[in-house]
């Protein structure tokens, strides 16, 4: 049985899910022993701990030019001292170029089978990846498991399914016959999906797998070799994924340089040299807008970016204002606001928010919001695990600086993580800002920072949220209204700003979250990014259709 035959049923289910857009998860998100095995968690933790201070020697990339690594645990605030093989850009590109001629000629079924098998192998390492993610990004345990494990694998599968479907959208050959009167003109035509070339996937420090696997698998399934360039602060989680891809390639007698890991260090980064190399044709990037815009402007490249955005919440009216306050407080606390979908700007009319029991004033809502933030932070069974730790020292500094932006409703404060006494922590800061102070709220303030913006009315709230999205980009938007006309206006206006809206969320679903096979992540229609996980463009731009023809021999 071929690998494609082994995984064909799963691939077909994934393709069906792409079209249905209903709930579908190939990889269970609950880390229960019943699903993953009684010892899976303990084994994964032990495997991670055994890596500290050691060489990561799983990669099938021979003859490294050195070993280096600068990852630091936000929970321990200590260097992990894990080192990785280092290769120069010419070496990485040269090896990828040679692998390209092999990989591009492999048919779509075989490529899909190999990639599906690699995800199956990665599944067996979800817990190891979870601990690696915790101690490189600062994510809490549950988020680290879900986002870097099953949710990332679902996004990777989504890219495989989308790519495979597009590669098979048209026939590979046909007899073309045109009536010419006394005879028919016949041509034999064939079409080939030709991959663009070497792909570089540039990772980020906060979501090293979830934000990278779509580009990796999207390029690989369409026949392009990939060089994965992780963020120097978060290498291990994606290194494990690359190692599993390489193992499956080797077992099936393919060049393991089809997928390489290109590690660098903060003091000697290779990102620009790699991106500007003439043989690199595809670039996937997650990170800040300045560097993302530089990549988008590079000539001769097909670039897929997810950059920064200014995410808004429009508060107009609500059935239960306490549930609203609790929901958005959780969204701000979640991973200490270090998500590209986290809310930042909360637009609230100066006259207050309509509820069935009357108006809730701006100040009353602000206090409810603050109370919910504090309640979660002070809950020893939830707070430390929801907030996680802060990945970068710069984020901690930004949180403190934000207290100077306006009237402070809540200062950031310290608290203790019972499991990690030295963890780098920052509770949310809440600041009131007038709607006229656009210079304050028209940029992303990455981290647990919430701005309560007092507007004249809901119309102004909508106008400002739309303006922020069009001018500075937005990846998500939340809105609370019980008025159907207002709801439609918000949906229409934010659609024109290419920003998806989550309406009236309460309970266990939050505007930060996106589901594979259903939610598009980033639309590509505003300055927050030019690509979307995963619409057809995300994979079709990685190859071109080329047709050949010749007369049919009689």
pLDDT tens digit string along 439-475? 999 999 999 999 999 999 999 999 999 999 999 999 9
Domain 3-308+532-548 shares a fold with domain 312-503: no
Per-residue confidence band for 415, with pLDDT thresholds at 50, 70 and 90: confident
Mean pLDDT of the chain: 96
Q: What is residue 278's DSSP assignment? A: T
pLDDT at 369 over 90: yes
Q: Which CATH superfamily is domain 3-308+532-548 in?
A: Aldehyde Dehydrogenase; Chain A, domain 1 (3.40.605.10)
Residue with tokens 């500094």: 397
For residue range 258-289, what is the model confidence (pLDDT) as tens digits?
999 999 999 999 999 999 999 999 999 999 99
**pLDDT band at 128, cuts 50/70/90?**
very high
* pLDDT one-digit tens code per residue, 371-404: 999 999 999 999 999 999 999 999 999 999 999 9
Please list, in sequence order, all residues whose beta carbon lies within 8 angstroms of the beta carbon of residue 550, skipping any fewer than 6 positions away. 187, 188
Which region, left, alpha or beta, applies to residue 126 given φ > 0 means left and ψ of -120 to 50 means alpha?
alpha
Q: Which CATH superfamily is domain 312-503 in?
A: Aldehyde Dehydrogenase; Chain A, domain 2 (3.40.309.10)
pLDDT value, residue 150: 97
Q: Which of 102, 125, 97, 128 is nearest to 114 (CA)?
A: 102
For residue range 23-60, list pLDDT tens digits in order. 999 999 999 999 999 999 999 999 999 999 999 999 99
Per-residue pLDDT tens digits for 292-341: 999 999 999 999 999 999 999 999 999 999 999 999 999 999 999 999 99
pTM: 0.96
**pLDDT value for 52:** 98
What is the token pair recorded at 195?
């991959």
Closest CA to 316 of 432, 442, 440, 465: 465
State residue 140's pLDDT score: 96
pLDDT of residue 414: 83
Give the torsion sign (CA, 313, 317, 319, 321): positive
User: CA 194 to CA 540: how far, in whole Å?
Assistant: 10
Using pLDDT thresholds of 50, 70 and 90, give the confidence band for residue 216: very high
What percent of the chain shows pLDDT beyond 90? 97
The residues facing 433 across adjacent strands are 453
HSE value, Cβ hemisphere, 13 Å, CA-based, for 230: 31
Q: For CA atoms 369, 388, 313, 503, give the dihedral sign.
A: negative
- Whether 554 shows a pLDDT value over 80: the answer reads no
In the chain, where the domains are located: 3-308+532-548, 312-503
- As a whole number of angstroms, the distance between CA 530 and CA 344 comes to 21
Both tokens assigned to 75: 């929970």
Tell me what the mean pLDDT of segment 497-504 comes to.
Answer: 97
């Amino acid at each position: 049985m071929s690998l494609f035959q082994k995984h064909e049923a799963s691939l077909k289910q994934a393709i069906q899910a792409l079209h249905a857009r209903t709930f579908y998860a190939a990889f269970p998100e609950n880390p229960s022993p019943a699903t993953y095995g009684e010892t899976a968690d303990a084994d994964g933790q032990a495997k991670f701990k055994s890596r500290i201070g050691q060489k990561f020697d799983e990669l099938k990339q021979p003859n490294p030019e050195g070993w280096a690594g600068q990852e630091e645990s936000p929970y321990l605030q200590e260097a992990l001292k894990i080192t990785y093989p280092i290769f120069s850009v010419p070496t990485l590109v040269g090896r990828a170029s040679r692998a390209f001629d092999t990989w591009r000629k492999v048919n779509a079924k075989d490529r899909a089978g190999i990639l599906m098998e690699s995800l199956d192998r990665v599944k067996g390492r979800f817990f190891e990846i979870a601990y690696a993610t915790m101690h490189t990004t600062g994510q809490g345990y549950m988020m680290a498991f879900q986002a870097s494990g099953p949710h990332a694998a679902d996004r990777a599968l989504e890219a495989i399914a989308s790519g495979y479907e597009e590669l098979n959208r048209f026939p590979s050959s046909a007899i073309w016959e045109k009536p010419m009167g006394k005879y028919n003109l016949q041509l034999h035509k064939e079409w080939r999906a030709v991959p663009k070339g070497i792909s570089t996937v540039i990772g980020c420090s906060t979501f090293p797998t979830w934000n990278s696997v779509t580009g990796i698998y999207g390029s690989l399934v369409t026949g392009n070799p990939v060089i994965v360039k992780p963020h120097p602060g978060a290498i291990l989680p994606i290194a494990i994924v690359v190692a599993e891809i390489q193992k499956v390639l080797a077992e099936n007698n393919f060049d393991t340089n089809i997928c390489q890991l290109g590690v660098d260090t903060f003091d000697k980064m290779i990102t620009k040299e790699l991106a500007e190399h003439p043989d690199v044709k595809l670039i996937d990037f997650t990170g800040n807008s300045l560097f993302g815009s530089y990549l988008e402007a590079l000539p001769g490249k097909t670039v897929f970016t997810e950059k920064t955005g200014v995410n808004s919440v429009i508060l107009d009216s609500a059935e239960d204002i306490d549930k609203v306050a609790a929901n958005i407080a959780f969204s701000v606390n979640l991973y200490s606001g270090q998500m590209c979908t986290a809310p930042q700007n909360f637009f609230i009319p100066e006259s207050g928010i309509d509820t069935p029991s009357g108006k809730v004033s701006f100040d009353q809502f602000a206090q409810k919001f603050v109370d919910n933030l504090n309640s979660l932070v002070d809950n020893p069974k939830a707070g430390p695990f929801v907030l996680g730790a802060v990945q970068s020292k710069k984020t901690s500094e930004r949180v403190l600086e934000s207290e100077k932006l306006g009237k402070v409703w809540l200062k950031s404060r310290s608290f203790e993580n019972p499991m990690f006494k030295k963890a780098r922590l920052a509770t949310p800061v809440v600041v009131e800002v007038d709607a006229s102070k656009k210079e304050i709220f028209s940029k992303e303030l990455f981290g647990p920072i919430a701005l309560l913006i007092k507007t004249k009315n809901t119309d102004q709230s909508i106008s400002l949220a739309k303006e922020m999205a069009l001018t500075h980009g937005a990846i998500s938007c939340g809105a609370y209204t019980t008025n159907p006309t207002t709801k439609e206006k918000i949906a229409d206006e934010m659609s024109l700003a290419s920003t998806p809206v989550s309406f009236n969320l309460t309970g266990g679903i939050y505007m930060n979250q996106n589901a594979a096979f259903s939610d598009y992540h980033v639309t590509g229609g505003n300055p927050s990014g030019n690509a979307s996980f995963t619409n057809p463009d995300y994979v079709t731009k990685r190859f071109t259709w080329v047709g050949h023809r010749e007369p049919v021999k009689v």
